Amino acid sequence: MDRTLVEQIVRQVAVEYLGRNGKGPAPTLTVMASARHMHVCREDMDVLFGPGTELTVYKDLYQAGNFAANEKVTIIGPRSRLISNLRILGPMRKQSQIELAFTDAIMLGFDDLPVRLSGNLAGTPGAIIMGPKGTIQLKEGIIRAAIHVHMNPAEAAFFGVKQGDKMKLRVGGPAGVTFNQIHVRIDPASRLNVHMDTDEANACGLHLTKDIELIK
């Protein structure tokens, strides 16, 4: 038996054990709010920060290999309003993308910004992006990120879900909000983790509650 397989089995047992002894989902569920941010491609990085420049790590994120970078840009929306200090998340990607909360979008003049899964950018609006060394006109890539849950195959088996399924996230507290469209994204490198934006987090009082349940 190779080592990867052993590790997968260990992980699966651990999740099942937690599930049998607790109520509902595994207690290791974490829910995080992503503040507005940009993902940048090599080509745009060259223009915004200078040829050959690299992103530098400000803070590692929960999912292995992902980080908040020190580098920031300014986005100029359709009504010439702008948001500065928009942080870039690394590593670099194939295509640049900017994820905004609904409030950010409306403030900038995007009244009907599409809700998309990361990377699904066809037909989305663009914007002017200013960096310290140059400016680009993004043709597309401005989105509201669809609320989603990252998990590995063992965690998916625990919940009985597959790639592309939708789950519910119930958040207790005074508002008592349940999100009904949590997109399931399965990757062997992932840890169980729901990503929502700051508007969604504020609507459900995420930082005030521990009463959270992921439901198939």
Return the number of the residue (109 or 114) whose C-beta is nearest Zn ion: 114
Return the number of the residue (63 or 74) whose C-beta is nearest Zn ion: 63
Token couple for 81: 């309003």
Cα–Cα distance measured from residue 74 to residue 100, given in angstroms and rounded to the nearest whole number: 13
Catalog residues that contact Zn ion under the rule CB under 5 A: 195
Please, what is the minimum distance in Å from the beta carbon of residue 145 to Zn ion? 7
Please, what is the minimum distance in Å from the beta carbon of residue 169 to Zn ion? 13
Return the number of the residue (39 or 195) whose C-beta is nearest Zn ion: 195
Return the number of the residue (37 or 195) whose C-beta is nearest Zn ion: 195
Please, what is the minimum distance in Å from the beta carbon of residue 64 to Zn ion? 13
Please, what is the minimum distance in Å from the beta carbon of residue 150 to Zn ion? 6
Q: Which residue is nearest to Zn ion (CB)?
A: 195
Of 127, 159, 186, nearest to 26 (Cα)? 159
Q: Which of 152-170 are b and which e, b meaning 16 or more Cβ less than 10 Å from the residue's Cβ?
A: bbbbbebbebeeebbbebb
Cα–Cα distance measured from residue 65 to residue 96, given in angstroms and rounded to the nearest whole number: 18
